[in-house]
Amino acid sequence: MIVKVAFLLFLQIQLLHVNAYSNEPLYVAKTRLDRLNYIALYSKQWQQDSADIHSIREEPMILLIGSVYSKFLSFNSHFTFDSILMGHSREERLRLIGSRITPQAFVFYKIFKNHNVHNMEIFDRVAADLYRYSQPLHVFQWQILPDTMQVSGYAAQKATTSFAGRDWVAWFTPEIPISDGPYKFNGLPGLIVLLYDTRNHYRFALTSFAENQSERFIHKTVSDQTHAFNTTRERMIAMRWRFIKEPFTLMPNVSPMGGAAQREEVLQRLRRRNNPLELRY
């Protein structure tokens, strides 16, 4: 019984992410940023608990590439909100998400790179709140090495860098001369086809790459722009660590439901998600 009640509280916390979309209009309004030229799909694997090598989660990711803009986000989020749920009412969208008919997303950030002004705009969540911040595009000091190998069917070359408290290894391919990649990573003379940190806590691997043949565009939803709180990268990282250590301080409307024992079990479960990609700024 204790486990069941604790799980219900944990589920209540997860649904806060879903309910954040409940104020959207019948149709999701969008701002067109760029024509979609290429689509790159990645598999993201990450270790949620830094002390538990078995706490691996995997999610498909998508990189939408235009002439000026690119957009990186969860494929499940993109597929669900941009495709399946577009024509449904708010109530029907919540019902579909809760029924698990739609793909479940566990990665909530969206990263927009503007290669003209050399800037990134990031939308991300802490608890139920959506935040927005910007940072320069070219923050990576790459060391390109002579090592080469085949990755996902492409001839790739090795490069290394340090970012946000981790050391990273990237394999990029000059066969796709697009200076972009998963998450915030960019700046190499070719698309990044494999990226991982030296602790093996995070890994992005290209699973497919294709040119867009239809009239499609890269968009930014108006609801994201309207509902997001402006912040800085430094404050975002600090809030994330605060949520890891004391999650209920950022969720005052979530009650213990089953008492102190259940609250503590949920706290411990949330605290095991203690391994964010960006450890520091």
pLDDT at position 34 is 97
Q: Which amino acid would we find at residue 130?
A: L
Q: Indicate the domain borders of the chain.
A: 2-271
pLDDT of residue 257: 57
Spatial distance between the Cα atoms of 114 and 69, rounded to a whole number of angstroms? 5
| Average pLDDT of adjacent 10-residue blocks, the chain of 281 residues | 38 40 48 96 96 94 97 79 49 53 73 97 88 95 98 97 97 98 98 98 97 93 83 93 78 60 73 89 79
* pLDDT at residue 240, as a whole number: 87
Amino acid present at 138: H
Contact 84, 96 (CB under 8 A): yes
Q: What is the widest separation between alpha-carbon atoms in the chain?
A: 59
- pLDDT at res. 18: 38
68 alpha-carbon distance from chain centroid: 21
- pLDDT value, residue 273: 83
**pLDDT for the residue numbered 2:** 37
Q: Which of 212, 211, 174 is nearest to 193 (CA)?
A: 174
Buried b (16+ CB within 10 A) or exposed e, 244-255: beebbeebeebe
* DSSP strands (E only) in the chain: 30-35, 38-47, 56-65, 69-74, 110-114, 119-126, 129-136, 143-151, 154-163, 166-173, 191-197, 202-211, 217-221, 229-230
pTM of the model: 0.81
**Contact by Cβ (8 Å): 160, 145:** yes
CA 83, 214, 75, 28: dihedral to nearest 10 degrees? -40
Predicted confidence at residue 35, as pLDDT, reads: 97
Tokens representing residue 266 in the block: 């949920």
**What's the CA gap between 138 and 214, in Å, rounded?**
31
| Amino acid present at 256 | P
C-alpha closest to that of 142 among 164, 156, 165, 162: 162
pLDDT of residue 1: 40
